[in-house]
Amino acid sequence: MSTLEIHQIPTRSDNYVYLVKDRGTKRTGVVDPSDAAPVIAALDGLGWTLDTIICTHHHNDHTGGNLELKERYRAHVVGPRADRDRIPGIDEMVGDGDTWRLGGAEARVFDTPGHTRGHITYWFAETKALFCGDTLFALGCGRLFEGTPAQMWTSLSKYRAVPDDTLVYCAHEYTQSNARFALTVETTNADLADRVRRIDALRAAGQRTVPSLMGEERATNPFLRADQATVADAVGKPVADPVAVFAEVRLRKDSFR
Ligand code: ZN
Ligand code: FE
C-alpha cells in the first residue's frame, strides 16, 4: 500500500474539490469535481494529469465537472453503486465494504446515506484521510435531503472505525456557521469553545478550516455526539435514544439562523 498526496481546490462559494495522487504509482484522481475549469487550472499548475474522477454523491456541486474532465483526460469515473443512474459518466460502481484503489493507495468504501440515498465515503486508512462529501462537515453534517435521521445516524456511526488522527476532507467550508449552532447545543463543552475560537481566528485571517481532525469532530461536533448525555439533555431527548437526539439536533439546525 502507499499513500496519497492531496491538494485542495476551493471552488464556487464554499466548495472544496481535492486532487489526490498515489505516491507509488503516480496515478491521480479528483474527488467531487464541482466544475472542470478550476480542476484543469490546478492540474496544469501542478503539472499533473488526471486518471480518475472519484464521486461521493450525485449533487451537481460535486459532479458538475465530471463529463468535461472525463472527455478531456479520458478519465475513469468511480461512484456509488446505489446511485449509478445519477452520477454523470460513471464507469465503475462501488459500495459498502468494498476496497477501492487509486494505484497502490487503498480506500475502504462506506455507504453513508442520509444527505442523498446513494452517498458514499472513501477512507484511505494509510493516508489517514476520509473523503466524506456532504455526510460529515467540520462541526456539522449534511442536510437530510433523501434520508431519515436513523439512516444518517447509522452512516455517521460507521466513522467510529476511523482513528482520531484521520483528516476529514469534507466538501464545504460551512464551519463557522456550524460552530455558531454547535455552541447553542453544548454550552459547557470547553473543547468546543476552544475550537470555535480557533475557527474564528482562521476565518478572520481568510484561512480554511478544512480538513479537520476526526478526533476533534468526535469531541466537538454535536451530530457525532448524539449519544452523549450533554447533547441529549440539551435537546430534551433520552440519551438511550441517539436517533431521537440526532433527529432533534438536525431539526434545530435546519431552522437555525
Ligand atoms: Zn450534496
Ligand atoms: Fe455539496
Question: Is residue 134 flagged as an active site residue?
Answer: yes
Matching CATH number, 4-254, of 3.60.15.10, 3.40.50.300, 3.40.718.10, 1.10.630.10: 3.60.15.10
Q: Is the pLDDT of residue 1 over 90?
A: no
Question: Is residue 172 flagged as an active site residue?
Answer: yes
Each residue's pLDDT tens digit, 209-225:
999 999 999 999 999 99
Domain-wise residue ranges, the chain? 4-254
Each residue's pLDDT tens digit, 20-45:
999 999 999 999 999 999 999 999 99
Cα distances (angstroms) measured from residue 51 to each of 26, 31, 194: 10, 12, 41
- Burial label, 40 (beta-carbon count in 10 A; 0-12, 13-18, 19+): middle
Question: Is residue 165 flagged as an active site residue?
Answer: no
Question: Is residue 62 flagged as an active site residue?
Answer: yes
Q: Which of 22, 62, 83, 111 is catalytic?
A: 62
Q: Which residue has the cell 469534507?
A: 170
Q: Check: CB of residue 170 under 8 Å from CB of residue 133.
A: yes
Q: Which of 61, 83, 111, 119 is catalytic?
A: 61
Beta strands 52-54 and 92-94: pairing type? unpaired
